[in-house]
């Protein structure tokens, strides 16, 4: 779909029409081919403008078509026809020109952008490369280093940066199509020889080999096993070293490898999953369609520890007035300084004034009387939180939403402390709260759809992947994490070292293995939670093994480490040793190895050889099995919700699509078989027992992940 009109007598105007983002579907490509032909064959037309309808130029190739058989005209000959035209073709870029959209613009002779437009080649984030000639044209236009940066990161640039880089020829604050038509009139009839990017030589940096070597090392370090960034470097190298036609061949070859890879499927799945979870739905059927969010202008944060500080910053940065409450004067002063610093640094990055005057500080909870929403972020102690909720109910104006940032406690119990439990939801942020992209919005049986809608909308405004989940211990993320960590402890008992476990998980693609991560986060946090749950009881005296709790296997290893005052980086030792308290570089610790050997000897455990595969299967499949239980319990609406939580909040490698997608890639039958194997070997670990949803999915032929909801629905209807 592309509309053709003639404007100002001699300009052919082609408008892409495919809402919402004018993606280059087969119909759009056909429309472009036809309208370009019409414009070029019309003797009255002297120049052409291509734009997109509804304020967006083009969001790129239609990702929904990727899994299907290719129909319609291919992109590359279409771009060549535009570039080879003997009449100037001008791209009028409003909104976004991304991926194939920017490649289309690069095929044009001139590019005019609106000042608010964003441009980029984000194919790498979908496991691909700009294979409609983009990897060959962009380096010819802006040079190798800048093209490498854009193509390997997929980052979007503003119109101002695009102008500076030389991607666009002009930026306008006014109507972009009008500006482009005006421009097209001025260039009509001029020579286009220098404007065809594919015919230009690629600028040659002084030490090409060193440049590409460095670029390759950089992407390999940050890619964590993703193959697309590596292919992007190879494609740009082809642009720098080969004639255009041969470079294009290389681009095609590399794309063919990526296109059918599991990684591209995983990344495209996550792209759609992120958008699907934004269209949340509660078990009652409530969703955006039925629930209008409340307007929130003023918010309060109670408790200014690390989490409270980050939440204050996140809320202030989206334009809210925030009342920040901390009862301890010393902590209040410390927090004020930290919050101001974060706001100043954030504003500097964005080139705006720091919104310091939007935050007011108080030691008195009465200061929240006129806010629309409160987020409680006090210490993770039920008694204290209950007290705060009682006070809030007495102080806040009617209708104020009361949110808790608890990471594991029962939010419904907190709701019971208020006369209006429908106004209570969980907003579980991840540390640092103004940086991390995930928000779990937790609803209880009495939370109103409007309260959920409001929290979801606030999360969206803060730029977070917000996922609505039901209430249970640990919600989705931490409930699954507990089993992953538990397996890691069991593996230490059986003969593994923290180094071995971390190596296997980091090779898989996690930025940090479980032990390195736990040293960073602080071991004392989990210790406190286990103590409050009564797990960390010295019960050896009663004759019961310390390795059994509630009739199941339990590993006290982490508790014993904490008893030594080893809380991780902050104390200079944990699962590893550090040069000093606060040190960042983890080194193997002989003390820890000797502790593990003594521990095993004390409990009659014989260390055996454990390989990376067992580490992955035990840690990941235990966690995936819990994911199936979460779906069975209706805590998460679908596998996409779990996967988005893990990719955005827990460092799950994006190119593996999230734990549930990964299970479908491995094969559900294999996951089931391995869980049965490990459960047989460890009958005292109930979490390894395959759950009924997994068995049912396997029995129904292991349907693809987007069809699991049908099986879950059937299961729920039979309960």
Ligand X SMILES: CCC/C=C/C(=O)SCCNC(=O)CCNC(=O)[C@H](O)C(C)(C)COP(=O)([O-])OP(=O)([O-])OC[C@H]1O[C@@H](n2cnc3c(N)ncnc32)[C@H](O)[C@@H]1OP(=O)([O-])[O-]
Residues that bind ligand X (CB under 6 A): 20-21, 23, 59-64, 75, 96, 98-100, 122-123, 126, 128, 130-132, 272, 275
Residue number with CB closer to ligand X (55 or 703)? 55
Tokens of 268: 């495209």
Nearest approach, Cβ of 192 to ligand X (angstroms)?
A: 24
Nearest approach, Cβ of 537 to ligand X (angstroms)?
A: 49
Q: Which residue is nearest to ligand X (CB)?
A: 99
Which residue out of 83, 103, 417, 499 is catalytically annotated? 103
Nearest to 639 by CA among 622, 664, 656, 621: 664
Measured N-to-C along each axis, helices 477-494 and 498-508 cross at an angle, to the nearest 10 degrees, of 130
Which residue out of 83, 94, 123, 617 is catalytically annotated? 123
The residues, ordered by sequence, that sit 6+ positions from 313 with a Cβ below 8 Å of its Cβ are 339, 342, 343, 346, 433, 434
Residue number with CB closer to ligand X (62 or 641)? 62
Q: How far is CA 522 from the centre of its chain?
A: 24
Are 669 and 696 a contacting pair, CB within 8 Å? no
Nearest approach, Cβ of 612 to ligand X (angstroms)?
A: 33
Tokens of 337: 């300084």
Nearest to 621 by CA among 654, 666, 681: 666
DSSP calls for 525-557 = HHHHHHHHTT-S---GGGTS-TTEETTEE---H
Measured from the Cβ of residue 538, the count of other Cβ atoms closer than 10 Å reads 10
Residue number with CB closer to ligand X (17 or 362)? 17
Tokens of 537: 């009881």
Nearest approach, Cβ of 131 to ligand X (angstroms)?
A: 4
103 noted as active-site residue: yes
Nearest to 330 by CA among 295, 310, 352, 304: 304
Strand partners, 376: 302, 404
Nearest approach, Cβ of 123 to ligand X (angstroms)?
A: 5
Residue number with CB closer to ligand X (624 or 647)? 647
Tokens of 321: 């007035």
Nearest approach, Cβ of 96 to ligand X (angstroms)?
A: 4
Residue number with CB closer to ligand X (160 or 256)? 256
Residue 446: phi, psi to the nearest 5? -105, -5
Query: Can you tell me the distance from the alpha carbon of 80 to that of 83, in angstroms, rounded to the nearest whole number?
Result: 5
The residues, ordered by sequence, that sit 6+ positions from 221 with a Cβ below 8 Å of its Cβ are none
Nearest approach, Cβ of 297 to ligand X (angstroms)?
A: 23
Residue number with CB closer to ligand X (21 or 373)? 21
503 noted as active-site residue: no
Residue number with CB closer to ligand X (465 or 562)? 465
Residue listed under structure tokens 């739905």? 281
Tokens of 655: 């190119």
Residue number with CB closer to ligand X (421 or 658)? 658
Residue number with CB closer to ligand X (61 or 647)? 61
Nearest approach, Cβ of 130 to ligand X (angstroms)?
A: 6
Nearest approach, Cβ of 59 to ligand X (angstroms)?
A: 4
Residue 286, classed as helix, strand or coil, is: coil
For residue 36, what are the CA distances in angstroms to 32, 75, 108, 573?
Answer: 6, 13, 11, 67
Query: Can you tell me the distance from the alpha carbon of 265 to that of 258, in angstroms, rounded to the nearest whole number?
Result: 10
Query: Can you tell me the distance from the alpha carbon of 433 to that of 338, in angstroms, rounded to the nearest whole number?
Result: 13
User: What are all long-range contacts of 569-575, with beta carbons under 8 Å and residues at least 24 apart?
Assistant: 569/519, 569/520, 569/522, 570/522, 574/515, 574/518, 574/519, 574/523, 575/498, 575/515, 575/516, 575/518, 575/519, 575/523
Residue number with CB closer to ligand X (118 or 679)? 118
Residue number with CB closer to ligand X (275 or 348)? 275
Residue listed under structure tokens 């570089």? 585
The residues, ordered by sequence, that sit 6+ positions from 718 with a Cβ below 8 Å of its Cβ are none
Residue number with CB closer to ligand X (270 or 377)? 270
For Cα atoms 85, 135, 156, give the angle at the middle one, nearest 5 degrees.
100
Residue 570: phi, psi to the nearest 5? -65, -30
- Residue 138 burial by CB count (10 A; 0-12/13-18/19+): exposed, middle or buried? buried
Nearest to 653 by CA among 217, 227, 224: 224
Query: Can you tell me the distance from the alpha carbon of 672 to that of 650, in angstroms, rounded to the nearest whole number?
Result: 24
Nearest approach, Cβ of 61 to ligand X (angstroms)?
A: 3
Are 172 and 115 a contacting pair, CB within 8 Å? yes
Q: What is the 3-state secondary structure (H, E, C) of 391-416?
A: HHHHHCCCCCEEEECCCCCCHHHHHC
Nearest approach, Cβ of 649 to ligand X (angstroms)?
A: 20
Nearest approach, Cβ of 85 to ligand X (angstroms)?
A: 21
Residue number with CB closer to ligand X (133 or 303)? 133
Query: Can you tell me the distance from the alpha carbon of 704 to that of 289, in angstroms, rounded to the nearest whole number?
Result: 28
* Residues recognised as catalytic: 103, 123
């Amino acid at each position: 779909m592309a509309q053709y009109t003639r404007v100002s007598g001699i300009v052919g105007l082609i408008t892409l029409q495919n809402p919402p983002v004018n993606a280059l579907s087969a119909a759009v490509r056909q429309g472009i081919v036809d309208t370009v032909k019409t414009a070029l064959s019309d003797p009255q037309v002297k120049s052409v403008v291509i734009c997109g309808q509804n304020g967006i130029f083009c969001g790129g190739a239609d990702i929904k078509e990727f899994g299907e058989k290719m129909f319609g005209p291919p992109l590359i000959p279409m771009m060549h026809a535009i570039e080879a035209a003997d009449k100037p073709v001008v791209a009028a870029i409003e909104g976004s020109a991304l991926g194939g959209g920017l490649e289309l613009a690069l095929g044009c002779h001139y590019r005019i952008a609106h000042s608010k437009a964003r441009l980029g080649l984000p194919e790498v984030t979908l496991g691909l490369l700009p294979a409609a000639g983009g990897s060959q044209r962009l380096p010819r236009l802006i040079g190798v280093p800048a093209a490498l940066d854009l193509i390997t990161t997929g980052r979007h640039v503003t119109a101002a940066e695009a102008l500076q880089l030389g991607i666009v020829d002009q930026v306008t604050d006014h109507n972009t199509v009008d500006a482009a038509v005006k421009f097209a009139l001025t260039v009509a009839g001029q020579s286009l020889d220098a404007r065809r990017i594919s015919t230009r030589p690629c600028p040659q940096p002084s030490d090409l080999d060193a440049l590409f070597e460095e670029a390759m090392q950089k992407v390999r370090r940050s890619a964590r096993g993703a193959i697309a960034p590596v292919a992007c470097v190879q494609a740009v190298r082809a642009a720098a070293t080969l004639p255009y036609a041969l470079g294009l061949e290389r681009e095609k070859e590399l794309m063919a490898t990526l296109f059918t890879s599991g990684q591209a499927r995983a990344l495209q799945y996550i792209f759609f999953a992120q958008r699907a979870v934004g269209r949340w739905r509660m078990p009652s059927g409530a969703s955006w369609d039925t629930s209008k969010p409340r307007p929130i202008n003023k918010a309060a944060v109670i408790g200014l520890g690390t989490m409270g500080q980050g939440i204050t910053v996140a809320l202030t940065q989206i334009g809210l007035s925030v009342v920040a409450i901390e009862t301890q004067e010393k902590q209040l002063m410390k927090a004020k300084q930290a919050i101001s610093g974060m706001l100043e640094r954030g504003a500097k990055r964005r080139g705006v004034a720091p919104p310091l005057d939007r935050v007011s500080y108080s030691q008195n909870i009465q200061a929240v009387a006129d806010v629309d929403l409160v987020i409680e972020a006090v210490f993770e102690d039920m008694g204290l939180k209950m007290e705060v909720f009682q006070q809030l109910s007495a102080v806040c104006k009617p209708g104020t939403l009361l949110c808790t940032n608890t990471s594991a406690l029962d939010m419904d119990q907190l709701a019971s402390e208020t006369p209006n439990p429908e106004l209570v939801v969980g907003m579980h942020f991840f540390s640092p709260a103004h940086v991390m992209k995930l928000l779990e919005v937790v609803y209880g049986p009495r939370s109103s759809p409007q309260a959920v809608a409001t929290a979801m909308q606030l999360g969206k405004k803060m730029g977070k992947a917000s996922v609505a989940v039901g209430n249970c211990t640990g919600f989705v993320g931490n409930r699954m994490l507990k089993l992953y960590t538990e397996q890691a402890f069991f593996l230490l008992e059986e003969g593994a070292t923290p180094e071995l476990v971390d190596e296997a998980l980091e090779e898989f693609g996690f930025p940090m293995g479980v032990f390195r991560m736990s040293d960073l986060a602080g071991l004392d946090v989990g210790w406190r939670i286990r103590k409050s749950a009564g797990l960390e009881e010295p019960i050896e005296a009663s004759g019961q093994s310390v390795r059994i709790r509630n009739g199941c296997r339990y590993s006290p290893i982490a508790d014993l480490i904490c008893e030594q005052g080893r809380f991780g980086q902050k104390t200079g030792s944990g699962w590893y040793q550090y040069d000093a308290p606060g040190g960042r570089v983890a080194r193997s610790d002989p003390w820890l190895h000797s502790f593990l050997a003594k521990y095993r000897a004390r409990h009659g455990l014989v260390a055996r050889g454990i390989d990376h595969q067992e580490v992955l299967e035990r840690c990941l499949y235990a966690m995936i099995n819990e994911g199936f239980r979460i779906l069975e319990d209706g805590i998460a609406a679908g596998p996409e919700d779990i996967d988005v939580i893990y990719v955005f909040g827990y460092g799950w490698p994006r190119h593996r699509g999230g734990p549930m997608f990964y299970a479908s890639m491995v094969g559900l039958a294999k996951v089931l078989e391995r869980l049965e194997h490990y459960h047989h070997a460890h009958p005292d670990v109930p979490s390894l027992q395959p759950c009924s949803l997994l068995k049912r999915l396997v029995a129904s032929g292991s349907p693809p992940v987007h069809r699991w909801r049908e099986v879950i629905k059937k299961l729920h209807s039979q309960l």
